[in-house]
Amino acid sequence: MPDSTPPGHDPKAPPVPPGVAESLSTRQVSLALGRNTPPPTLDDSNGRQVDMKRLRAYRLGRLREQLRLLDVAGILLYDPINIRYATGSRNMAVWTLHNASRYCFVPTEGPIVIFEFHGGAHLAEGLETVAEVRPAQAWYFFGAGPRMVEKAGIWAAEIAELVGLHGGGNRRIAADHCDIEGIKALSAQGVEVVDGQGPCERARVIKSPDEIALMCHSISVCEAGMAKMREELRPGMTENELWSHLHQVNIARGGEWIETRLLASGGRTNPWFQECSDRLIRAGEMVSFDTDLIGPFGYCSDLSRSYFCGPGKPKPEQREIYRLAYEQIESNMQIVRPGITFREIAEQSFRLPARYLPNRYSVIFHGVGFCDEYPHCAYAEDIDEHGYDGVLEAGMTICVESYIGAVDGGEGVKLEEQVLITETGVERLSTFPFEEELLGREF
């Protein structure tokens, strides 16, 4: 049976000396680094710490492996998540998600060049992954206005020069994001552009032990915020006020941003995907939320819980939907293992009662790393129309999802666990407790 017991800190667990981690199983390394890692500060006497150079080398190696399979000269990266994965460099990530003012060229073989936003050249200092920093050419409309075509031409000539220097005659490159004027300008330089987001996500799908350790660090920050929310929850506060505690704890502990605003109370919990508001939370209501938190080092903690707002006791119908969501999570985690296909999971997954099926969540599970990412597994009812097949592998990190809300109304419950696929099954990375009172297990 897959191991689905929440692992705790083992004070007897031996440290992992430098260089030994590679010989251990993913699960052993996860326990040693993820559960026992100290705060990631410099300490030359502690072998349990994350080796950031090793981490960057692993991620860049994964990406370049995909580029070789694609037979391209390199990849042009605009997405700040992909830039960070490839190089470890970051700058104004949320802003540059919608302002194409910073990019990176990663040759399949050769030195990496980052094109940095004005005044940001110093941000790559000390990064062994970055060979050169140049000023970015802002040819997107906000930066170039009516000079977009002109600026795109200058930009394309510089990229084509790098392709010529390091491509070995190969004039094909991948790109994760590129507006139409850029593709036209590169084509005029004799450079063919192919999709680069797929290779990035395929590279990111298998996590190294160092990545798992950092993900656990991010989860610990997220769960501290969830605990603060649980502590502060009271009748009369607004949904926004409760949600703000998660943001505060994340930022105070070195986290970065939160991708959504998915918190709702009372009748707003059904249907799901209603963003938090100034609605006053009332005693006796359910409060459901999904963290979607980008924590320290850029790793995502995507956990969901539903709280009961006291005073008082949960109603039978609240306990019913909570227990059903919990049962769905636990049942599906027994299926998850390396080598199983997404279609097999969909076919074997927990079956929702008919009244809850129309409001089902969009997926049974999805990948997680720097954000929600490849792969995902659709329900059996949806896989032919909206899903795709694939195979789970050891080293993947995924989030197992449940949303329970009847189509005829009432409240809804959202639960979600973040787990690691091991060589034998699954290990929970999230440790935040479920609501014993809602499960009917209070003492």
Q: Which two tokens stand for residue 354?
A: 């008919």
Percent of residues, the chain, with pLDDT higher than 90: 87
The pLDDT, as a whole number, for residue 157 is 98
Domain segments of the chain as ranges? 53-204, 209-439
Residue closest to 402 by CA, chosen among 306, 259, 260? 306
CB 288 within 8 Å of CB 404: no
Stretches where the chain sits below pLDDT 50 are: 1-23, 443
**Which residue spans within 259-356 are E strands per DSSP?**
263-265, 286-290, 293-294, 300-301, 304-308
The string of pLDDT tens digits covering residues 19-63 is 434 445 655 655 566 666 556 665 666 666 789 999 999 999 999
The pLDDT, as a whole number, for residue 47 is 63
Class at the top of the CATH hierarchy for domain 53-204: alpha beta
Beta strand 130-135 with 112-116: parallel, antiparallel or unpaired?
Answer: parallel
Alpha-carbon distance 339 to 203, whole Å? Answer: 18
pTM of structure: 0.90
Class at the top of the CATH hierarchy for domain 209-439: alpha beta
The string of pLDDT tens digits covering residues 311-322 is 999 999 999 999
Q: Which two tokens stand for residue 59?
A: 């991620």
